[in-house]
Amino acid sequence: MIINYCLECSEPLRGRFDKKFCGDSCRNVYNNRVNGNVNNYVRNVNNVLRKNRRILDSLFKMGDKQIHKGILIEMDFNFQYFTHKKVNRESTTYCIYDYEYTTKDKSKFVMISPGHVDFETANRKPKGFRNTGHYNDL
Ligand SMILES: [Zn+2]
Protein backbone atom coordinates (compact mmCIF):
# COMPACT_ATOMS: atom_id res chain seq x y z
CA MET A 1 0.00 0.00 0.00
CA ILE A 2 1.32 3.41 -1.01
CA ILE A 3 1.06 6.12 1.61
CA ASN A 4 0.93 9.73 0.46
CA TYR A 5 2.01 12.61 2.61
CA CYS A 6 0.63 16.12 2.85
CA LEU A 7 2.62 18.42 0.55
CA GLU A 8 2.64 21.08 3.26
CA CYS A 9 3.11 19.40 6.63
CA SER A 10 4.21 15.89 5.55
CA GLU A 11 1.60 14.15 7.67
CA PRO A 12 0.42 10.82 6.21
CA LEU A 13 -2.82 11.24 4.26
CA ARG A 14 -5.96 9.19 4.68
CA GLY A 15 -8.81 8.90 2.25
CA ARG A 16 -8.70 9.33 -1.51
CA PHE A 17 -5.50 8.11 -3.17
CA ASP A 18 -5.07 11.41 -5.08
CA LYS A 19 -5.33 13.60 -1.99
CA LYS A 20 -2.44 16.06 -1.69
CA PHE A 21 -3.19 17.87 1.54
CA CYS A 22 -4.45 16.88 4.95
CA GLY A 23 -6.87 19.80 5.02
CA ASP A 24 -7.93 23.20 3.73
CA SER A 25 -5.44 25.12 5.84
CA CYS A 26 -2.43 23.15 4.51
CA ARG A 27 -3.73 23.52 0.93
CA ASN A 28 -4.16 27.29 1.41
CA VAL A 29 -0.73 27.77 2.98
CA TYR A 30 0.90 25.72 0.21
CA ASN A 31 -0.94 27.45 -2.66
CA ASN A 32 -0.34 30.90 -1.22
CA ARG A 33 3.37 30.20 -1.00
CA VAL A 34 3.58 28.74 -4.52
CA ASN A 35 1.29 31.29 -6.22
CA GLY A 36 1.96 34.25 -3.96
CA ASN A 37 4.61 35.97 -6.04
CA VAL A 38 2.69 35.65 -9.30
CA ASN A 39 -0.54 36.75 -7.67
CA ASN A 40 1.16 39.77 -6.08
CA TYR A 41 2.66 40.81 -9.40
CA VAL A 42 -0.66 40.46 -11.24
CA ARG A 43 -2.45 42.34 -8.44
CA ASN A 44 0.09 45.18 -8.54
CA VAL A 45 -0.15 45.54 -12.33
CA ASN A 46 -3.94 45.47 -12.16
CA ASN A 47 -3.87 48.16 -9.48
CA VAL A 48 -1.73 50.42 -11.68
CA LEU A 49 -4.01 49.83 -14.68
CA ARG A 50 -7.13 50.52 -12.64
CA LYS A 51 -5.60 53.71 -11.26
CA ASN A 52 -4.63 54.86 -14.78
CA ARG A 53 -8.16 54.14 -15.97
CA ARG A 54 -9.65 56.02 -13.00
CA ILE A 55 -7.52 59.07 -13.84
CA LEU A 56 -8.56 59.05 -17.51
CA ASP A 57 -12.18 58.51 -16.51
CA SER A 58 -12.21 61.43 -14.06
CA LEU A 59 -10.54 63.81 -16.51
CA PHE A 60 -12.82 62.77 -19.35
CA LYS A 61 -15.94 63.15 -17.22
CA MET A 62 -14.82 66.66 -16.21
CA GLY A 63 -14.81 67.46 -19.91
CA ASP A 64 -11.03 67.52 -20.34
CA LYS A 65 -10.30 65.71 -23.53
CA GLN A 66 -6.96 67.31 -24.28
CA ILE A 67 -4.61 67.02 -21.33
CA HIS A 68 -1.06 68.17 -20.72
CA LYS A 69 1.12 65.19 -19.88
CA GLY A 70 2.34 67.05 -16.79
CA ILE A 71 -1.15 66.92 -15.30
CA LEU A 72 -1.26 63.17 -15.78
CA ILE A 73 2.14 62.87 -14.12
CA GLU A 74 0.96 65.03 -11.22
CA MET A 75 -2.03 62.71 -10.82
CA ASP A 76 0.40 59.78 -10.58
CA PHE A 77 -0.53 58.37 -13.97
CA ASN A 78 1.89 55.60 -14.96
CA PHE A 79 2.68 55.77 -18.69
CA GLN A 80 4.41 52.39 -18.65
CA TYR A 81 1.22 50.43 -18.13
CA PHE A 82 -1.60 50.01 -20.66
CA THR A 83 -3.66 47.10 -21.90
CA HIS A 84 -2.96 47.41 -25.62
CA LYS A 85 -1.91 50.01 -28.18
CA LYS A 86 -2.62 51.10 -31.72
CA VAL A 87 0.12 52.70 -33.82
CA ASN A 88 -0.18 54.63 -37.03
CA ARG A 89 2.08 57.07 -38.84
CA GLU A 90 1.03 60.22 -36.98
CA SER A 91 0.19 58.98 -33.53
CA THR A 92 0.14 56.21 -31.01
CA THR A 93 -2.96 55.33 -29.07
CA TYR A 94 -2.58 53.63 -25.72
CA CYS A 95 -5.59 51.77 -24.40
CA ILE A 96 -6.40 51.20 -20.78
CA TYR A 97 -9.36 48.89 -20.74
CA ASP A 98 -12.19 50.91 -22.29
CA TYR A 99 -10.34 54.27 -22.29
CA GLU A 100 -7.61 55.40 -24.59
CA TYR A 101 -5.27 58.31 -24.99
CA THR A 102 -3.49 59.37 -28.12
CA THR A 103 -0.10 61.04 -28.27
CA LYS A 104 1.46 62.76 -31.22
CA ASP A 105 5.19 62.82 -31.71
CA LYS A 106 6.84 65.32 -29.34
CA SER A 107 3.50 66.79 -28.28
CA LYS A 108 3.12 67.54 -24.59
CA PHE A 109 -0.60 66.87 -24.83
CA VAL A 110 -2.63 63.72 -25.04
CA MET A 111 -6.18 63.28 -26.31
CA ILE A 112 -8.41 61.19 -24.09
CA SER A 113 -11.37 59.29 -25.45
CA PRO A 114 -13.52 56.39 -24.43
CA GLY A 115 -12.30 53.51 -26.54
CA HIS A 116 -14.35 50.76 -28.02
CA VAL A 117 -13.09 47.35 -27.14
CA ASP A 118 -14.16 45.11 -29.97
CA PHE A 119 -13.86 41.68 -28.43
CA GLU A 120 -15.00 40.04 -31.62
CA THR A 121 -12.03 41.49 -33.49
CA ALA A 122 -9.68 41.06 -30.53
CA ASN A 123 -10.42 37.36 -30.35
CA ARG A 124 -10.21 36.79 -34.09
CA LYS A 125 -7.46 34.51 -35.29
CA PRO A 126 -4.55 36.30 -36.95
CA LYS A 127 -4.52 36.49 -40.74
CA GLY A 128 -2.98 33.44 -42.31
CA PHE A 129 -3.90 31.27 -39.38
CA ARG A 130 -4.79 27.79 -40.47
CA ASN A 131 -6.22 25.20 -38.18
CA THR A 132 -3.92 22.24 -38.57
CA GLY A 133 -6.06 20.02 -36.45
CA HIS A 134 -3.30 19.62 -33.90
CA TYR A 135 -5.01 21.86 -31.45
CA ASN A 136 -8.66 22.20 -30.72
CA ASP A 137 -9.61 25.61 -32.06
CA LEU A 138 -6.84 27.85 -30.81
ZN1 LIG B 1 -0.97 19.04 6.16
Q: What stretches of the chain show up as alpha helix (H) in DSSP?
A: 24-61, 69-74, 119-122
Residue 65 lies in a domain: yes
Does a structural domain hold residue 43? yes
Q: How far is the CA of 38 from the centre of ligand 1 (A)?
A: 23
**Separation of CA 35 and ligand 1 centre (Å):** 18
**Residue 23 within a domain:** no
Our measurement of the distance from residue 99's CA atom to the centroid of its chain's CA atoms, rounded to an integer in Å, reads 15
Answer whether residue 62 is part of any domain: yes
How many independent structural domains does the chain possess? 1
Does 128 reside within a domain? no
To the question of pTM greater than 0.85 for the whole model, the response is no
Residue 136 pLDDT: 43
- Which residue positions in the chain have pLDDT lower than 50? 135-138
Whether 117 is in a domain gets the answer yes
Helix (H) or strand (E) holding 67, with range, is: strand 66-68
Residue 138 is assigned to a structural domain of this protein: no
Distance 11 CA to ligand 1 centre (A): 6
In a domain, 17, yes or no: no
Residue 69's pLDDT is: 93
CB 95 within 8 Å of CB 86: yes
Query: What pLDDT score does 137 carry?
Result: 43
pLDDT in tens, 57-88: 999 999 888 999 999 999 999 999 999 999 98
- Structural contact between residues 61 and 70, judged by C-beta atoms closer than 8 angstroms: no
- Say if CB 110 and CB 101 are below 8 A apart: yes
- Say how many Å lie between the CA of residue 29 and the centre of ligand 1: 9
Distance 39 CA to ligand 1 centre (A): 22
How far does the centroid of ligand 1 lie from the alpha carbon of residue 17, in Å? 15
pLDDT recorded at residue 117: 61
Residue 41, domain extent: 33-122
Burial class of residue 90 in the structure, from the number of CB atoms within 10 Å of its CB (0-12 exposed, 13-18 middle, 19+ buried): exposed
Confidence (pLDDT) at 34: 85
What is the model's pLDDT at position 118? 65
